[in-house]
Structure 1
Amino acid sequence: MVYIKLYKVKEKLNDIKLRNKLILSFIVVVFIPVIIVGGFLTNELRKLALVDAEQEAVANMERVKQRTLEVLKVPVYISNNLLYDQRLGQIVNTDYEDLYDVVLSYRDYNIFQSYRSIYKNEIRNIKFYTENETLLNNWQIVPVDENVENSDWYRNAKNGKGLIRWDYIEDDTSNGNKYLSLVRKIDFVEYEKSGVLVIQLNTKMFNLILSQESQPTMIVDDDNNIISSNQKDFIGNKLQNIIDSQEILAGKTGTFQGMTQDVSTHILVDSIQLDSSVNHVRIISLIADKEIGRNANMFGKMGLIVVTISVCIALLLIYYISKLLSNRLIRLSSQIGQVGNGNFNTHILIDGKDEIGQLSKQLDRMVKNIKQLLNEVYESNRQKTLLERKQSEIKFKMLASQMNPHFVFNALESIRMKAHIRGEQEIARAVKLLGKLIRNSIEVGSRNVNLISEIEVVRSYLEIQKFRHGDRLNYFIEIDPQTKQFPIPPLIIQPLVENAVIHGVEKNESGGSVYVKTLLCEKGLLVEVTDNGIGISEERQQEIFKALNEQEEKEGMRIGLRNIHQRLQLSYGKDAGLNIESKKHVGTKIYFIIPTFRRS
């Protein structure tokens, strides 16, 4: 019975025209699956759009967080420095009897102004509140009055054990405007007193960071004060006036769904926490649900349009293609298949002038063009490879023609040998020492060297100077045998000797002597360089001492001495720098000590 029904269905299908069969087949096999697949893909694209929107918002939040964190680190860094500022402690803990003395102390202390100048983009002002009633209020050092003493931020700081707080504080010097401020208690142990440091942050910097965000974003303190925002009407407002979410108002972080000014919104909250801080600052970004769903809905509409257009075009195509079934189509398919397998020598030739014939001619022309293009690409790559090889050969020849550093030493050696052959032993020896000195200067690295190696460099230098000056220069080197293998930084003694020769002996009409001495003492390795030259005046010594501790190089400064001084201090501590003793018309002694415990 079933077989009979299937046979009748088959007969009816056989009676239907081929074109209608193809259309029916298309509807069953293609149209329905396309609708299903298209709907599924459209829905997935919509979900992906939602996920992408949320991920983009999180990425934007992280960018704002990192840039805000960079700004917050500046006042933390300044407060850590001021925590150990002895000069500040001396000023605010001295009981002054005369207002003139207060003014003098204020005038000599400009650390606050320096920080404000250096970090003008990050901080607005620095204030220090003290209970010393003998001080004057210069808007930087402020004696505490009753209003300040009763303020919450001041009491919290006094009870904060030196930890950092971030408070939104009103500034009485700026028409009552409020600023996010770092508040920290500073204890002066030696005076058994304390004060409160307040560093106001520059709100313009926060506004600049947030202005680059497309979504409403704000920075909020732990009391829900909106410190900064890219929405001007939010600034200075309370968070509860903007967002209706108890979880966020309670200080929680994460992603929340809530109402923002009667609009359903995704709310992203993240906190910025710094070490030694008892509270934190939060970043809040608002994304309206309709904004998140906008791209998703666009994908949905586009998917529907694409599916609809695709189905309509397919219906039209199947209607016309159904009339073109023939052996020519099979032959065309076969020939195209050969091309698809990479056989570009195949000729696609189908007789006839209809669409299939024209298509075959176009395909044949395309195959020829592709074959020609491949040949052109191959030839182009071959020429490019050849050109690169030629260029490499030229570069190699250019490199080969460059002077080898050993050429200098070989040239000096040749000069020495010529002088030696001609009996000019003094010149030969001087050239040899010069070559040795140059090689040591070039080959010096960053690792320490044995003291005896450095002494050999010094000896070579002095021998060359002895060659130049003759009897006008004498030198004496006294090395403690226990110090020969002591590790020291390279080129640390030779510049001192050079300084003694140039500035001490050469400027003395009768010449002089240079003494180099090393000794292992209780503190470590003692190195002395002494000359009996013209000496240095007291005034000039003070200038040199000041120059040695300058942070930046200035014209006229003895950069060589300063370099050695700072290298010693960086390697072995502040006590390891250069010491200078000198008397006018008597001579100069420069010495330093490398602690024994830093040997490596």
Structure 2
Amino acid sequence: MRFRNKMVLAYILFFIFPFIAVGFFIVREYRQSALDKAIEQSEASVERIKNRTAETLDVAIGLSSRLMLDSQMEEVATTRYRSSSDVVDAYRNYDTFRTYLEFNPEIAGIKLFVQNDTLLNNWEFLPIDAKTTKSFWYRAAIEHSGLVGWYYYPSETRTAGNLLSLVRSVYFQENKSFGVLSIDVNTEYLNSVIRQEHFETLLTDEQGYVVASNRPGTLGKLLRDTGLGSAIEGKPPGVYQMAVDGRDSKVRIDKLQPDKSYMSLNVITIYPIDSIVREANRIDRAGIRIIAVFAALSIVLIYSICTVMTNRLLKFSRQISKVSTGNFNVEFRDEGKDEIGQITRQFNHMVNNVKELMNEVELSHRHAGELERKQNEIKLKMLASQINPHFLYNALESIRMKAHISGEQGISKTVKMLGRLLRRSLEITGEAIAVNEELEMVRAYLEIQKFRHEDRLNYEIDIEPEAGRIVLPPLLIQPLVENAVVHGLERSPGGGTVAVSARVAEGALVVRVEDDGAGMSGERLAYVRRTMRDQEANRIGLHNVQMRLTLTYGEGAGLRIESEEHKGTRIEFRIPVEGSNACTK
């Protein structure tokens, strides 16, 4: 038997037959998996509806529990008023109902029915009349004292339609009487919860009214009148199979028992069986087709493939021999899409990779450097953006307190300084600015702090003309001055002086901020130096400046801190004058 025929026979025996057997097994498993997943999704949908509905009802239950303990509500409800104006004033001063409605979209309305004929009906507090006392929900609420009932009923106080309402009796200790609290659940909110589900779902009360639904034409109707038939009504919780709208369907009934309630609600979910097994049947049919087509094509094509396989292997062998002699400029072209074609393409690719390796390494290094530079730019912009609003809150609070306590005329000047500081802050875009422009912000900041601390704060600014024209990233000096005021002078009982200087020395711009305030102990100074790279909540300014300096000018441009307890602190940094980020302006 020829080698080609041997390969064909072996292929059929050891591949085609096992493939068909395994294929049928895998298709069946996938079908069962799809069926299980569909059932699991339907069950998860029901649980999701129950949980979200329970959450909505729990909002109403929680509000009712809080209102039962509301002494102000009891006072409004039980007071015997002498005139209508007294009632109106009491209603105006009591806004708890309106506040609850504003912050709880799940609730559509809150009403309290009270045995007090001096009240006026404002749709929040309603005097009980004979019609109310005869209503089924009122009698049930009084009978189940303190427990929660859920009813879907019309009311003359409603603007339109019916709503699911929480009904709960309230005992007023002051005059030993009862009232009934009614909290209307937002039907549209409940419907929005149910509309998010794929399967048809209905929420019914114990009387059989549909209180929420995503099935058209069922809301507000009795279950027996919805077209689903009486087969569903009255059935206990469980899963039933029946025809709905002419389709064989699964109907699942679940009981929802809200907390503190003597009544329950039913969640009815309808999902057609064909929608559950649709995906499973599709997988089954598609799998069988794929297996049949693949088997037929394999038997037809294997013979022709084996015919040309030997010739292709011989050509490839001759190409390998050339490469083995050190000739890497040859290329074997094989247009086949099978394993041999893949091997030849991988072989050619390997040869090309050897020749291109050095170029790829160089390109990779260049890309890595560019990426690191862009990352540093992004990080620098992020760090710079943190400082802009850092001081404004303290300054505004100082002005407010000073104005409130003393009303001094210096407030006008301070507000002007603050306006200048705000304007300069808003003008900062991240581009480099001159030292003189940065010091305008520093001077405005110090004037504001001087207004705040009066004679406890003095400051000196000494800038060489050449240094003032040098540009640098914005907001490098102001955080250091703020640190000197907050951590140096504010902690010193006698206050002190802040000195800011800038000069050019040995080809570098030297900026120094000094204070003669509280200073730091040696241990504290060591801790600040050690942790300055970490962004602590109370030292965001120093950390920000340190990181921006080192990212822009290198590690040698970082902050240098010297301090002595009870004598003061000095912070300075040096940046080169020659460079892209430090030049004259």
Indicate the residue corresponding to 1:83 in structure 2: 68
Match of 1:285 in 2: 269
| 1:334-375 superposed Cα distances (whole Å, 9 cap, x missing partner) | 999xx9xxxxx9999779999999887645434345667877
In structure 2, the CA distance between the partners of 1:192 and 1:36, relative to structure 1 (3 Å rule), is same
2:15 alignment counterpart: 30
Residue 275 of structure 1 aligns with which residue? 259
Contact 1:184 1:196 in 2 (8 A): yes
Whole-angstrom distance in 1 between the partners of 2:99 and 2:169 = 21
Superposed CA deviations along residues 260-296 of structure 1, whole A, max 9, x for unmatched, are 3443223345555443233333433322111111111
Give the match's secondary structure for 1:125. strand
Structure 1 residue aligned with 2:210:
226
Q: CA–CA distance in 2 between the matches of 1:90 and 1:171?
A: 25
Structure 1, 392-401 or 244-253: larger mean CA deviation:
392-401
- Rounded to whole Å, the distance in 1 between the matches of 2:159 and 2:132 is 17
Q: Which residue of 2 aligns with 1:57?
A: 42
Q: Which runs of 5+ in 1 are unaligned?
A: 1-13, 340-344, 420-429, 436-441, 445-600
Partner of 2:26: 41
Q: CA deviation at 1:126?
A: 1.8
2:286 match: 302
Structure 2 match to 1:124: 108
Report what 1:365 is aligned to. 348
Name the structure 2 match of 1:476. Answer: none
Partner AA of 1:228 in structure 2: A
* Shift in Å, 1:315: 1.7
Cα distance in 2, alignment partners of residues 348 and 313 from structure 1: 35
Count of matched residue pairs: 405
Quote the residue 1:154 is aligned against: 138
CA contact (8 A) 2:254 2:266 kept: yes
Distance between the aligned counterparts of 2:85 and 2:34, measured in 1? Answer: 70
Q: Distance in 2 between matches of 1:325 and 1:143?
A: 97
CA–CA separation in structure 2 for the residues paired with 1:126 and 1:183: 10
CA contact (8 A) 1:167 1:181 kept: yes
Match of 1:317 in 2: 301
Structure 1: distance between partners of 2:133 and 2:335: 101
SS at match of 2:184: strand
1:111-158 per-residue CA deviation (whole Å, 9 max, x = no partner) reads 334433444x32222221223344343333223333332332212211
The runs of 5 or more residues in structure 2 that have no matched partner are 385-472, 500-514, 521-536, 540-585
**Aligned match for 2:219, one of 219, 229, 235:** 235
Q: For the structure 1 residues 224 and 322, does the alpha-carbon distance in structure 2 shift closer, same or farther, using more than 3 Å as the test? A: same
Q: CA deviation at 1:179?
A: 1.0
* Separation in 1, partners of 2:267, 2:496: 74
Is 2:173 the counterpart of 1:181? no
Change in 2 beyond 3 A, CA 1:384/1:271: farther
Change (3 A) 1:276 1:67: same
Q: Does 1:205 align with 2:184?
A: no
Partner-residue secondary structure (3-state), 2:217: helix
2 CA distance for matches of 1:167 and 1:372? Answer: 82
Do 2:332 and 2:348's aligned partners in 1 also have CA atoms closer than 8 Å?
no
Aligned to 2:442: none
Cα deviations by residue, 1:406-438 (Å, 9 ceiling, x for unpaired) = 54468758994899xxxxxxxxxx975899xxx
Provide the C-alpha distance between the structure 2 equivalents of 1:389 and 1:54, rounded to a whole number of angstroms: 51
Q: 2:199 aligned with 1:215, yes or no?
A: yes
Secondary structure of 2:15's partner?
helix
- The structure-2 alpha-carbon separation of the partners of 1:286 and 1:370, relative to structure 1 and needing over 3 Å to count, comes to farther
Read off the aligned partner of 2:16 and give its amino acid letter.
F
Segment drifting more, 390-399 vs 40-49: 390-399
Secondary structure of 1:323 counterpart? helix
Structure 2 counterpart SS, 1:172: coil
Q: Secondary structure at the match of 1:232?
A: coil
Paired with 1:175 and 1:332, the residues of 2 have a C-alpha distance of 87
Identity of aligned residues (%): 28
Cα deviation, residue 71, structure 1: 2.9
Aligned pairs (5 A) from 1:359-508: 362-368=345-351, 379=362, 381-387=364-370, 389=372, 403=479, 407-408=484-485, 412=489, 416=496, 432=517
Contact 1:227 1:235 in 2 (8 A): yes
